[in-house]
Structure 1
Amino acid sequence: MNFDLTRQQEMLRDTVRQFADSELAPRALELDERGEFPFDIVKRTGEMGLIGIMTPKEYGGTEMGHLARMVAIEEISRVYPPLGFFFQTCHLGHYSIQNWGTEEQKTKYLPSLCKGEKIICDAITEASGGSDPTTTQTTAQLDGNEFVINGRKVYITLAGVADLACILAKTDDKFNTILVEKGTPGFEIVRRENIAGFRTMPVNELAFTNCRVPKTNLIGQEGRGLGIGLTTISVIGRTGVAGIGLGIARGCYEAALKFAKERKLYGKPITELQAIQFALVDINVDIEAAKWVSYYAAWQIDQGKDLRAIGPDIARAKLVSCELANRVAPKAVQIMGAYGVSEEYHIVRRLKDALQLFPAAGTQEIMKATIGRSIMA
């Protein structure tokens, strides 16, 4: 079994790391303080081929695969996690279109999405909860060749800047996945939520009032929307969160290690104190363990493994990486003392972002339930 990344994947890691260090790091605090969506940075990642990293070349992507995507998200999130969350979120819509969309939908939407010229959001969660999408109340009733959509979606990341929404709605007793373009009459972007982390990624409510869209906006077969949504959340949402968790943990670890090597106490660097050494070792081991659990999940997707069969492996990746990020960030604060809670050392910023990972793409309890079903079968 070969655990090495390919030459292409290693080059990708180096390129993204350089981009993150040179273009994201100097602006990280400023971006969070302003809380405005970084259109210029997103456009830059489109030019680099990162947004279309999973998309076939014929539709404007670079077709590097899911493991490459995780590596890119990890490297970005090591420095600026909100941008990693952008990839995690926008790729939900990309994946739905490229795997279940019509040829017309693929050619119409994917090239501009890959370039960062257009942005898509995925709208499943409602006030009744996100863990059980079968409780969806938003309806899409057929009227001739149009769907008439009514309902509300909540906590939708990127909704405030999206040009296109990929929504889950109920038609009679079945579910459909439907594309709704910004500006469609009856489609309204409502208030922005005040979220602790990922400050530059807008989270909004969406409202649909007799919103009419052509039947050709349906993704996949009629009545198959729930399967499309759940598969996409697993394959894209959970692996994306795993990559972000790894990146946050590595960013905190690297900052704490650098600080510990430079900080002197009792006339010597605090890295010579066994308590500090043990804390850093614990973090290092945890990161390595979570990395391989996460990489394995993404690698299996690239290998074409049955997505239902590897669902528990994907859940493990999300579970361990989310816990990792929220365990490492406080440890980094403890190693750095008062400096750890200073904004200029970027640990607290990362901790707030890490907290956002708990509900993303399914709660930790949902991950455990998914794994539990597989081991009890």
Structure 2
Amino acid sequence: MLETSPRGSARAAVLCGVGGQLPRLKVGNDELAERLDTDDAWIRTRTGIRSRHFAAPDEATSDLAVAAGRRALANSGSAAVGTVIVATTTPDRTCPSTAPLVAARLGLTGVAAFDVGAVCSGFVYALAAGTGLITSGVTDRVLVVGADVYSRIVDPGDRQNAVVFGDGAGAVVLRAGHATEPGALGPFDLGSDGAHEDMITVQAGGSRLPFDPARTSHAERHFSMRGKEVYRHAVSRMAGSAQAVLEQAGISVGEIDLFVPHQANLRILRTVATDLGLSFERCATHVQEAGNTGAASIPLALARSHVDSALTVGDRILLTGFGGGLTWGSVLLTWPSLPPAVEPSRPEEGVAS
């Protein structure tokens, strides 16, 4: 049976900590333009991106995830959790999953730990998984991390994609609480359409097409995306999913204080906000400085907004994501009272240790 508060509200997952991490290396448009036969104006016009961060050669997804997770745990006031979930498309290895390593490096050996693979929707899916574990009574505290190192899978010579993606990690801590208190998550909306699984993909490296230098092409070994089709699906699915959550919650878009979409590119963000009837001023963005960081983009945007003091207790926040699969998802969140957070772009010492 679910715990209930004196007011009768059901047990819920409550956000109680947030943190982010970007790699040290910041790469501006001019640096990419030199080798991609393009220029800053072309990149900004099509994506809105000015810069992005790339992981060092010895820096893996787990390194960024550990740093972001450590910051989120510190922000929550406790280093103890019962579960670690890492949403990523770029795990350290195909096998095993990255979450157990992240947990161990955070001193959390023995806890449940697993990865979620839903590409850029991964963080919302991971939030749903963490919420389910808490509301069912399996655990009382969950660390949810979104982390990706796209520079490992995007062809650096790919003019269309190399300018869009960056590396990073963002994390939140969830605790057991009640649906009426600030920080409570829900309702959720999740969906997928596998008929379009080849729209955003890395063809080689799995059981369908194992990596083989003699049999797989250069293109098959790198990330590919059909941009125009992705644009249409991303706008439609994010707006539709976000609207579904508002309908479940019984509130209007006018009651949303901050909209935090997956940071795909600035054009998509503006279009989704317009389709929802939201002014762009209520849309959290950091894609201009960090690029598309995959599963890390939503928690990084939350961390950035918290650092900037753009959120107040009780603010209604709408999160929505879209990614390969195809997958999409949204969730509503009321903002809790949190201690000040550390600037996501300020590197920690020894992050890759």
- TM-score band, normalised by the shorter chain? under 0.3
Greater radius of gyration (CA):
1
More strand by share: 2
Higher helix share: 1
TM-score normalized with structure 2 length: 0.25
- The TM-score normalised by the length of structure 1 is 0.24
